[in-house]
Amino acid sequence: MTEQIITKTTVYKPGMLVKVHQKIKEMNTKGEEKDRIQVFEGTIIAAKHGQEAGATITVRKTSNGVGVEKIYPIHSPIIDKIEVVKEYAVRRAKLSFLRDGKTKRGLEEKKK
């Protein structure tokens, strides 16, 4: 399985398993500013506004039994890149049923 890097001009769809690389600025002990990249891997449960300037995606993952959701603006300079790991075939535009603790029974791997 090869990971595919998607540019900011591609369409994001619910059901994609993605890795979002986010730039984070930190201060070290000497007071110097330092940049690093943090990776957040999860499933897109909602995508809003297509490719407009204010387009966002909501990414959800479960970490140590706790659900974590982050909303990312697609065209933000903070987002370094987005990699697609898998793509699931879904029948909904919003995958809010994943919040209820249901299994990923509604998600099937997309056939190519």
* Domain-located, residue 112: no
Number of compact structural domains in the chain: 1
For the chain, what is the radius of gyration of the CA atoms?
A: 15
* Domain-located, residue 97: no
pLDDT, residue 112, reads: 65
Which pTM was predicted? 0.82
Q: Where are the beta strands (DSSP E) in 12-78?
A: 16-27, 33-48, 56-63, 66-73
Q: What is the CATH number of the domain that holds 14?
A: 2.30.30.790
Domain that holds residue 79: 4-92
Model confidence over 27-67: pLDDT tens digits?
A: 988 888 999 999 999 999 999 998 888 999 999 999 998 99
Model confidence over 60-95: pLDDT tens digits?
A: 999 998 999 999 999 999 999 999 999 988 888 999
* Domain-located, residue 60: yes
* Domain-located, residue 111: no
